[in-house]
C-alpha cells in the first residue's frame, strides 16, 4: 500500500510506547492496519531522560507495527506531555490599517503571530496558540470574525508552553530511530479527539487522562479548549506506593494493582488475603486486599484533588463556566476498579470512562478500543487529518497547473498567495525539523 494512503501515530509514554498504523475508510472511520507496543525505557514522567533506551523502545514498537501490518513506517505524528508543559491565558489585539475592508485570514494570522512573540521564561517555547473568542471593535463573543468589518481585532488565547530541550529530545529520538517527524501535538488534545463527542465539548467537559507518569487534563466549553494542565503523577506512583507499603518488588506491585486493586477501601472484607511468592526460596507474603486498597485510595485521592484544583482554577464553580458534561476519565490508569465512583464522590461531577471506539471502524481489534490506547488513537486521527489537508493542497496545486495551461494567471496568483499562508504551528514544526536536520 502506498505511504500516502495510511498514517502513523506514535505515543511515547512513560510506561509504554505505541505505534499505530491506520487509514480513513469510506465511512470516515479510522481503520487500524497494525499496532506495535513496547515497554518504555528512558522516559520519566513524560520526559525523555535516556535517549539511547528511548530510541530502542521506539524501534521495537515500530518494527512490531510493521510486522503486524506488512507496511513500512516513514513519518509519524508524535504526542508531547510531561511536567514541563504549562498553559496560560493571554489577550492581544491588532489595529487594522483599513476598517472598510473585511477581516480575512491574514488578520487572524497576524494576531496569532503576535502571540508567538510573547517573551517566555528562558528555555521555554510556545507549542500551541489556540484562539478562543474574538472581539471586533469592542463587540465580544465572536467565534469567527472573518468577513466582518472593524478596525480593532482582539482575541483571547490559550497558550501552551513547553521546554525547548524536551521537545528537541523527542525530535532527536524520532530522527535517530530512522523516522520523519510529521507533526507534534499536545497529548491531552490528542486524547480528547479520540474520546470526547462534540456535544460534550459544547456543554463543557474535563478530560482526565491518567497515564503511567503523568495525569493530563484538558477542559472544553462551547466547543473550545479552555484550559490544559499536566500533573506529574500517574499510575506509576501508585505502583511505587504498593511496592513500598507491602515490601514487594515492582513487578508484583503492578500485577497486584491490576488484578486486585481498588480505589475504594470499603469494598474489601478484612479476611480477603492474597499470597505473593517470596524471593528465592523465602516465605510467601500475605497481603490483605483492604490494606492494598487503602494504599491505592490515598494516592488516587491526592491525584484527583490536584486535578480538581485545576478544574476550579478554570472557574467551574461560576455558573457561566459550569462543565455540564462533567468528567471523562481515560488512559491506562482509568481502568482501576471503582475509580469512577471515587471521582464522582470527590468532585460531585458526573463521570464516565472514555473509550476511543467511537471513531474506529467496526471490525477493529477490541484491545485497541481500550482507554489505554486513547492517546495513540488520537495521534493517528491527527495524522489522518493532516494527510487529508496535505492531499487537498496537492490537488489545488494540480488545478493551478491546469489553469496556467488555460491562461488564467491572475486567479492562479491569488490562490497561490492564499495557499502560502501556513498555520503558525506548521511553521513551528518546520522550524523544529530544520533544527533536527542541522544538529548532527
Residues forming a β-bridge with 18: 11, 37
Around Cβ 25, how many Cβ atoms within 10 Å?
Answer: 12
Q: How confident is the model at residue 259 (pLDDT cuts 50, 70, 90)?
A: very high
**pLDDT exceeds 90 at position 411:** no
DSSP calls for 78-135: EEE-STT-EEEEEEEEEE-S-TTSBP-HHHHHHHHHHHHTPPPPTTEEEEEEEEEEEE
Residue from 8, 160, 178, 177 nearest 78 by CA: 8
Return the DSSP state at 284: P
pLDDT in tens, 201-210: 999 999 999 9
| Residue 90: predicted pLDDT | 93
- Among the residue ranges 82-91, 95-104, 419-428, the one predicted with the least confidence is 419-428
Neighbours of 440 (CB within 10 A): 5
| pLDDT tens profile 388-407 | 777 776 777 777 677 767 76
> Do 253 and 235 meet the contact criterion of CB atoms below 8 Å apart?
no
Specify the higher pLDDT residue, 386 or 410: 386
Q: What is the pLDDT of residues 373-383, one digit of tens each?
A: 999 999 999 99
Q: Residue 303: which pLDDT band, with cuts at 50, 70 and 90?
A: very high
Average pLDDT rounded to a whole number, residues 343-372: 88
**Distance (Å, rounded) from C-alpha 155 to C-alpha 141?**
9
Q: Evaluate if residue 16 carries a pLDDT over 60.
A: yes
Q: Is the pLDDT of residue 412 over 60?
A: no
User: Which contiguous run of DSSP H or E holds residue 353?
Assistant: strand 351-353
Q: If you average pLDDT over residues 244-272, what whole number do you get?
A: 87
**Residue 430 confidence (pLDDT) above 80:** no
Q: How far apart are CA 7 and CA 401, in angstroms?
A: 27
Task: Quote the pLDDT of residue 361.
Answer: 82
Q: Hunting for cell 484527583 — which residue is that?
A: 304
What is the structure's pLDDT at 278? 80
Report the pLDDT value the prediction gives residue 421, as an integer from 0 to 100.
Answer: 47
Maximum C-alpha span of the chain: 88
> Mind listing the pLDDT tens digit for each residue in 174-195?
999 999 988 888 899 999 999 9
Give the model's pLDDT for residue 395: 75
Q: pLDDT over 90 for what percent of the chain?
A: 53
DSSP code of residue 229? E
pLDDT at 155: 94
Confidence of residue 426 (pLDDT cuts 50, 70, 90): low
**267 Cβ contact partners less than 8 Å away, ≥ 6 residues apart:** 293, 337, 338
Q: Residue 420 pLDDT more than 50?
A: no
User: CA–CA separation, 148 vs 411, rounded Å?
Assistant: 24
Q: Which helix (H) or strand (E) holds 352?
A: strand 351-353
Which residues, including other chains, have CB under 8 Å from residue 92's CB and lie 6 or more apart? 111, 114, 115, 154, 155, 157
The per-residue pLDDT of the chain, averaged, comes to 87
- Say how many C-beta atoms besides its own lie within 10 A of residue 283's C-beta: 8
Q: Inform me whether the pLDDT recorded for 157 exceeds 70.
A: yes
pLDDT score of 144 more than 50:
yes
H/E segment holding residue 376: helix 374-405
The DSSP element (H or E) to which 34 belongs, if any, is strand 30-39
CB atoms closer than 10 angstroms to residue 366: 7
Q: How confident is the model at residue 3 (pLDDT cuts 50, 70, 90)?
A: low
Distances 109 to 89, 105, 124, 418 between C-alpha atoms, Å: 18, 6, 22, 12
Mean pLDDT of 91-114: 92
pLDDT-derived band of residue 425, with 50, 70 and 90 as boundaries? low
Q: Which residues contact 278 (CB under 8 A, 6 or more apart)?
A: 284, 285
In this prediction, residue 410 carries a pLDDT of: 56
- 433 burial type by CB count under 10 A (0-12 exposed, 13-18 middle, 19+ buried): middle
Segment 285-311 shows an average pLDDT of 93
Q: Residue 431 pLDDT > 70, yes or no?
A: no
235-299 fold: Nucleotidyltransferase; domain 5 (3.30.420)
| Domain extents in the chain | 235-299
Q: Is the pLDDT of residue 364 over 90?
A: no
The dihedral sign for the CA sequence 133, 135, 313, 160: positive
pLDDT tier, 6 (very low <50, low <70, confident <90, very high otherwise):
confident
Amino acid at each position: 500500500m502506498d505511504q500516502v494512503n495510511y498514517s502513523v501515530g506514535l505515543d511515547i509514554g512513560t510506561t509504554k510506547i505505541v505505534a499505530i498504523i491506520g487509514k480513513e475508510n469510506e465511512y470516515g472511520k479510522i481503520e487500524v492496519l497494525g499496532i506495535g507496543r513496547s515497554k518504555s525505557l528512558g522516559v520519566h514522567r513524560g520526559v525523555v531522560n535516556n535517549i539511547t533506551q528511548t530510541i530502542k523502545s521506539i524501534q521495537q514498537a515500530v518494527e512490531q507495527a510493521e510486522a503486524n501490518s506488512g507496511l513500512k513506517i516513514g513519518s509519524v505524528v508524535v504526542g508531547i506531555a510531561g511536567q514541563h508543559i504549562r498553559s496560560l491565558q493571554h489577550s492581544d489585539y491588532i489595529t487594522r490599517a483599513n476598517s472598510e475592508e473585511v477581516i480575512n485570514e491574514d488578520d487572524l494570522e497576524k494576531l496569532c503571530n503576535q502571540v508567538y512573540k510573547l517573551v517566555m521564561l528562558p528555555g521555554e517555547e510556545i507549542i500551541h496558540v489556540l484562539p478562543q473568542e474574538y472581539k471586533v471593535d469592542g463587540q465580544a463573543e465572536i467565534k469567527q470574525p472573518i468577513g466582518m468589518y472593524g478596525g480593532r481585532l482582539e482575541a483571547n488565547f490559550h497558550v501552551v508552553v513547553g521546554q525547548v530541550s524536551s521537545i528537541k529530545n523527542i525530535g532527536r529520538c524520532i530522527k535517530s530511530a530512522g523516522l520523519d517527524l510529521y507533526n507534534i501535538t499536545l497529548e491531552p488534545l490528542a486524547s480528547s479527539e479520540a474520546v470526547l463527542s462534540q456535544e460534550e465539548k459544547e456543554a463543557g467537559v474535563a478530560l482526565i487522562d491518567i497515564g503511567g507518569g503523568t495525569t493530563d487534563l484538558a477542559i472544553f466549553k462551547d466547543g473550545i479548549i479552555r484550559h490544559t494542565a499536566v500533573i506529574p503523577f500517574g499510575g506509576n506512583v501508585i505502583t511505587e506506593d504498593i511496592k513500598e507499603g507491602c515490601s514487594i518488588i515492582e513487578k508484583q506491585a503492578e500485577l497486584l494493582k491490576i488484578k486486585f486493586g481498588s480505589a475504594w477501601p470499603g469494598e474489601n472484607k478484612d479476611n480477603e488475603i492474597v499470597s505473593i511468592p517470596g524471593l528465592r526460596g523465602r516465605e510467601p507474603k500475605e497481603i490483605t486486599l483492604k490494606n492494598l486498597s487503602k494504599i491505592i485510595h490515598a494516592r488516587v485521592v491526592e491525584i484527583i484533588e490536584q486535578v480538581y484544583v485545576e478544574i476550579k482554577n478554570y472557574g467551574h464553580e461560576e455558573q457561566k463556566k459550569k462543565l455540564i458534561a462533567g468528567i471523562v476519565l481515560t488512559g491506562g490508569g482509568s481502568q482501576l476498579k471503582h475509580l469512577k465512583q471515587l471521582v464522582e464522590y470527590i468532585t460531585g461531577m458526573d463521570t464516565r470512562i472514555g473509550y476511543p471506539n467511537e471513531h474506529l471502524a467496526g471490525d477493529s481489534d477490541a484491545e485497541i478500543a481500550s482507554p489505554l490506547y486513547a492517546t495513540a488513537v488520537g495521534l493517528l486521527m491527527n495524522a489522518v487529518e493532516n494527510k487529508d489537508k496535505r492531499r487537498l493542497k496537492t490537488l489545488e496545486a494540480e488545478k493551478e497547473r491546469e489553469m496556467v495551461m488555460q491562461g488564467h494567471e491572475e486567479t492562479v496568483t491569488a490562490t497561490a498567495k492564499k495557499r502560502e499562508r501556513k498555520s503558525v504551528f506548521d511553521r513551528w514544526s518546520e522550524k523544529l525539523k530544520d533544527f533536527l536536520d542541522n544538529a548532527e
